[in-house]
Structure formats: structure tokens, C-alpha cells
Structure 1
Amino acid sequence: MIVRSRSRDSVRGLTLIELLVAMAVGLIVVAAAVSALTVARRGFTTVDAASQLRDNGRFAADMIQRIGVQTGYRDVFFAATLRQATATDPAPSIMGFDNAKVNLTNPLTTSTTRPGTEAGTGSDVLILRYQSAQAHTMVAGSTDADKTMIDCAGNAQATVADINTAAARDTLLASIFSVGLSQGEPSLLCTYYDTATSSWLSSPIVQGVENFQVLYGVDGVTAGTAPAANAPSPNVPNAYLRADQITVTGNSAATNANWRRVRSVRIGMVLRSAKGAAQDSQSQTFYPFGPTKSSANGALGSAFASNNDVGTVFQPTPDGRLRQTLTFTIHLRNDQGL
């Protein structure tokens, strides 16, 4: 007699069809999980990139505004005394170059043409100058600085020129903002004079700035011409001009006079993220000076956009990056005169 085990009779395997169905269901579940993870990951990347853009924009704006309010500042000794009529015409405290990049050989008076294929094409150069103050104004011969004035790299001047010397009145610090390449990425650069090496150096402040536009709010200035003799100076800008419109060709004195009538600076930037942060790659148009209209019937962004000002209408190649515009105005609080 054959004895069969009950446990052996109860064990049975899967058929091929059942196995295939189970595998198909498993694959569907895995695909759904991977898809959900991918969407979540892309969403996280986009949110993180957008947050980084906002942080970069805030830092850039804070830095430029911090230096901007220093522009034109002079030690109380020079602010309270008149310049001699026979003195030479000093360089203005604010100036810049349109559609250019910094020339490290002599960045205060010259600029370098930017190739049309280089990142940052159309970006401008902004030069801001100011003076350090003495720490001990009542001590004869003191040259210690109070270190309240810094350049765009955060450096504070340790000493100032002796106020008893003729050159002391026009001894100024300079901070220069522009766009250049850093590690292959267009970045907002700070150019400053390094006393240790006695040379001009550029260092990146914010990476991903591919467009930097500057307009100057002036009063009593007509593009390309010198201000009228004894023109009133209400200290309120009545026009915003490019750097090349403030320049009077062949007349440095008139050009300097125009620059001294700058009362505010309008900054426009376009910042970009790393590749792959955007959810799509659609073509977009950006207006660094904001989306305002020049009239009720004007096109969006036409208030400060001009075909004569390269970069004020910015159309980057779709590349899967997030982009953000940043626009702000700095009102200069120090007298820009002599």
C-alpha cells in the first residue's frame, strides 16, 4: 500500500501564465514608482534652482547697493573745503562703459570690446568710486583709515593719503562691476585694486549672471552734449541714459560734467541656473529692466528696451536652464560734484 503525504499533496507551483502576469504587475508597479521618483526629483531640482537664483539675486543686489550708497563719499575734511579753481579736472565718482568688459590694464579709463559669441554679450561695466575716511581727524599727520569703506571684494583700506598733500583730495577707492567667465560660467565680477600686488584683479561674486545692464539717471543732460552753463541741478533724474550717451566725443571736461549729474543708477540682470533645472526648454524673451510699457499701447518691456542698447531685450538659446530677471534702482546719496 502506498502512503501519500498530505503536505506533499497540498504543495503546488505557479503556472507559466501566472508567473508572467505577476512579473507584468511587478514591472508596472516599479515603472510607476520610478516615474513618481523622477517627477519628484525634477520638481525638487527646479525648486532648489529657483531658490538659489533668488538667493544669488538678493546677494548681487545687496552688494551693488552697498557699494552704490558709498559712491561720491569724501572725507569730511575735503567735503567741508572748496577745491582750488586752478586744480585739474578730477575723474568723476561714477562712470561706466556700454556693451563692454573690463580692461585690467587700466579699467578706470578704457574697456575691452566683448566678442559677439562670448557669454555676457551686451553686458555693461559699472565703475563706482569713493574715499576712505580718516580714523583720527584731529591728529596731525594721521593716515589711519577708519575702515568703514570697503570695495566690492570686501577689502577695507588700512591707510589714507595725508590730507596735507595735493593728491589726497582725489585719492579714491574703486569698485567695478561687470560680467565675465568664471569656471566656464558667465558671472558677475568684482574688479578692484590689490595693494599687495599693485595691480587690478577680478574675482567672481555671483555665478550665473549672463546679462548685466546699466542706465544712469541724469538731470539736465542731453545725450551726447555737455550740460548748459549754470544749468540748475535739482538732484532729481529726468532721463535715463546709456554710458555712451553721457560721453561727449572729444571733450573730456564735458563728459566729466555729465557724469557728475548722475543722480541714480538703474540695474537690470538676468541670472541663470545650471542645466536641467527647467521643466521644459521653451524659447523665452527677458527684459532686464523690467516688464513695464513705454505707453498704454507699448509692447511689454518697451520702457527701457532699445535696439540701440544690446542686451535690453535678451533671448537666450533654450538650454533647459531656469532664468530670472532682477531689476532695481540705486539713488546716489552723496554729492557727485567736485
Structure 2
Amino acid sequence: MNSTFQNKQGGLTLIELLVALVISSVIALAAFSAIVVSRQGFATVDAASQLRDNARFATEIIQRLALQTGYQDVAYSATIRPASSTAPANVSGFTNGTPSVSGILVTSTTKALGTTGYGSDVLILRYQAPETYPGSGKVDKGIIDCMGRSKADDDDIPIDRDDRLLSVLYVAESRGQPALMCRTESGSGQPLVEGVENFQVLYGVDGDNDSVTDRYMRADQLIVAGNDAATKANWDMVRSIKIGLILRSGVGATQETASQTLYPFGNARASASAALGSAFANSANDPGTVVSAPADRRLRLQTSFTIHLRNEQNL
């Protein structure tokens, strides 16, 4: 029997197929873009978290070392250091330098423009490791150098008032990255915190001996050329240390491509000029206090803090 209806198989026209392809491509592209943005956001958040952790660790280790500065074992703290003493100061440093350590002697060469850590300062701290119990011959390991050691052999007590631990902090390259470095008198430089590209130090000086900081000065302002006694007297007046740090992430942590001007000691404005960051910035005499960061898609973190020294520095 012939049917009056013929079964016809329906289909999509070429135009409909093209429209469907375009719509699906747009959806796929939107999904891919969302994944890329999500991954970039995750990378940025992770890099920012790492920067904060590094800044926190750097702050804690510098504060601990600085608070130990000038500590003397009870056997030597009861008497004042003779005025004729030529022993190195407990706290000292260099502006824009690279340190060289030979025993208790620390010297520095000026960093050239373009070198790793250009403008970064050198901070030198000295302190004793106390005897655990008088007559025990064992060192209390609560006081450490920047490598975490209390003494080279961990057993010898200080033999005199100038037998002190030495910690030298500065910026140099480590595994292709700038890092906050540590040197002691018995070792080469070792990285403490990677990603630190700028390390600034100002010294709070008590000029009238009332135990209150009068003003902050650079290391080169405290050094008297050819007069070690006057230089030592200046360092002995230091009552606090102001630290400024610039830390950076790896490449690609942010999509930001603009260059930045950063101030390690913060954006506080001086009363004279009111320019951003001018309270502690001095690019003419201390180039590291103003940092021009390139557009390299790195996150950067500025942090600064002040440490008040708790020990007398001339004992």
C-alpha cells in the first residue's frame, strides 16, 4: 500500500553548522581564557604569599641578631671597656658595599652601578655567646650568629671581652637571584633569604648620651677617615637601627608591565619637600634609598622596621 506521507530525514544546513561552530569556539575560548586568568591569579597570590613569608623571616632573623648586638658575658660586662681599646665596634657597617671578611677584620668595596644589589648596604653585628653556668666550660646556645651557630666548636667559652661572634649581612647573587647573605669570620657567604634585591640600613645615633635616638645617619657619615678612635666612638653612640628591604618574586608573577619607583624606607614625606618617599631617601649620597624597578612582570614588596638596641655598645 502506498503511503500518502513520505518519511523525510531532517539535517542541518551548512549555515547552521557554521553558526554552531562559531558559538562552540567562543564558549571554548571563554573557558580557556577563564582558566588562564585563574592560573595567573593563583600564581600572583602564591608569589605574594611567598614574598610576605620571606619578608617575615628576614625581619625576624635581623631583629634577633640586632637585639643580641653588644651582649657581653657576665664576666666582662661588669667593667667598662678601656677608652684606649681599638677593638671593632659591636655595630657598624658600610654604605653601598660588598664585604670582605678576614677574621675579625671586615672591609668593603663600593658596588658599581649595574651589579647585583647595587645601592645595598652592609650591616656588621658582634656579640658574645655566654657561658651556660660559670665554670661549666659550655656555651649557652641561645645566642647565635647569622648561620645559627653559637660558637665555631660549640664548647669554648669567650676567652676575653673581645672574643665575639660575628654576623655580616649584605646582598649578593645566589643561584642567579639576589639574596640577603650572611658571612661569619669562619665561612664564606651563605644565602639567608632569596629574592632580596635591596637592603638598606640607617643608624639611630644618641649624640647627647641620654639613651634616646637623636637622628638617623648613613654608615659613611659615621666613619671618620684616618681616625679609628673617632669612628669607634661614633659607632658606640648607635642606639637603634632602621632597616629597609625590597624583595622580588620570580618572573611572570604579575601581568603588570609598568616600571615602578620604590622606597625601601617607605613613602613618608619630608617636611621640607613633601615629595613621596623623601623622608629617608637620598639618591645622591645613598643610591639604594630610591629603587627604579624595571617592567619585568615581577611582584615586589617593600618592608621597613626599626630595632632598638637593648645592650650598651661600649662595654
User: Would you say same fold, with TM above 0.5?
Assistant: yes
- The partner residue of 1:170 within 162, 166, 171 is 162
How many pairs align?
A: 312
Deviation of the 1:169 alpha carbon: 1.2
Give the alignment's Cα RMSD to 1 decimal: 2.1
Deviation of the 1:151 alpha carbon: 1.0
Query: Quick check: 2:86–2:228 contact (8 Å CA) kept in 1?
Result: no
Mark the CA change 1:107 to 1:20 in structure 2 (over 3 Å): closer, same or farther. Answer: farther
Residues 217-256 of structure 1: pairs in structure 2 closer than 5 A? 217-220=204-207, 232-256=208-232
- The amino acid that maps onto 2:57 is F
How far, CA to CA, are the matches of 1:93 and 1:159 in structure 2?
22
- The amino acid that maps onto 1:181 is E
Q: Deviations over 1:143-184 (max 9, x none)?
A: 310111111121122123465xxxx11100011110010111
How far, CA to CA, are the matches of 2:299 and 2:220 in structure 1?
32
Query: Quick check: 1:108–1:127 contact (8 Å CA) kept in 2?
Result: no
Q: In the alignment, does 2:189 pair up with 1:202?
A: yes
- The amino acid that maps onto 1:201 is S
Structure 2 portions without partners, runs of 5+: none
Q: TM-score w.r.t. structure 1 length? A: 0.87
- The amino acid that maps onto 1:169 is R
Deviation of the 1:54 alpha carbon: 0.9
Q: Deviations over 1:231-279 (max 9, x none)?
A: x411111111111100011000110011011000000011111111123
Q: TM-score w.r.t. structure 2 length? A: 0.93
How far, CA to CA, are the matches of 2:157 and 2:149 in structure 1?
17
Residues 116-131 of structure 1: pairs in structure 2 closer than 5 A? 116-131=113-128
Aligned partner of 2:75 in structure 1 is: 77
- The partner residue of 2:155 within 154, 159, 164 is 159
Aligned partner of 1:136 in structure 2 is: 133
- The amino acid that maps onto 2:229 is A
Q: In the alignment, does 2:297 pair up with 1:320?
A: yes
Residues 40-189 of structure 1: pairs in structure 2 closer than 5 A? 40-83=38-81, 88-105=85-102, 108-137=105-134, 139=135, 142-157=136-151, 158-161=154-157, 163=159, 168-189=160-181
Query: Quick check: 2:139–2:157 contact (8 Å CA) kept in 1?
Result: no
% of aligned pairs identical? 51
Query: Quick check: 2:131–2:157 contact (8 Å CA) kept in 1?
Result: no
How far, CA to CA, are the matches of 1:289 and 1:106 in structure 2?
32
Mark the CA change 1:169 to 1:16 in structure 2 (over 3 Å): closer, same or farther. Answer: same
Q: Deviations over 1:116-165 (max 9, x none)?
A: 1112100000011100101121x2xx4310111111121122123465xx
Structure 1 portions without partners, runs of 5+: 194-198, 221-231
How far, CA to CA, are the matches of 1:108 and 1:11 in structure 2?
95
Mark the CA change 1:284 to 1:84 in structure 2 (over 3 Å): closer, same or farther. Answer: closer
